[in-house]
Amino acid sequence: MKKRKPAIKASVTQFVAIIALTISVFLIVDFGRRAAANYRIQREADRLAQEVAAAHRYQNKLLEQRTYAASDLYVEEVARRELKWAKPGETVVVVLPTPEAQPNTGVTASAGIQPVAITTPRQAWWQLFFGQSPPRNIGP
């Protein structure tokens, strides 16, 4: 007689349990993937919502600036501040430093540096910002 291999007898319930376990592992992994994807999408949606809110605030600020720039008050402010214009009857006063009002730096003519007389507004601005006389090719 030949020896037979012992037959593995699996019941139908064990077979169904193995199949159900396999399917549930796949479903759990798929659920985890979907939950992670949903979390990433939700974070991206929140970030985009914040960007949209910031863009709306910026747009409102620009609209306010446009409204102000179209007003007579803005035109008058620019005319007075930047163009130095005045209304009829007003006098514009521009204060220029005099050589006597210049701060004493302690440098005398014996050091080879001569004091500079400021005669034009351009020279006054140059002196104010750079502390020296402007080059000869700049300004009158």
In 70-117, alpha helices (H): 72-81
Q: Residue 9 above 90 pLDDT?
A: no
Phi and psi at residue 95, to the nearest 5°: -95, 120
pLDDT at 119: 66
Burial class (CB in 10 A: 0-12, 13-18, 19+), 118: buried
Instruction: Note the pTM of the prediction, 2 decimals.
Output: 0.43
Q: Residue 69 above 80 pLDDT?
A: yes
pLDDT digits (tens, 9 = 90+) for 21-66: 999 999 999 999 999 999 999 999 999 999 999 999 999 999 999 9
pLDDT digits (tens, 9 = 90+) for 18-31: 999 999 999 999 99
Q: Taking the CA of residue 54 as centre, how many other CA atoms within 13 Å lie in the half-sphere pointing to its CB?
A: 6
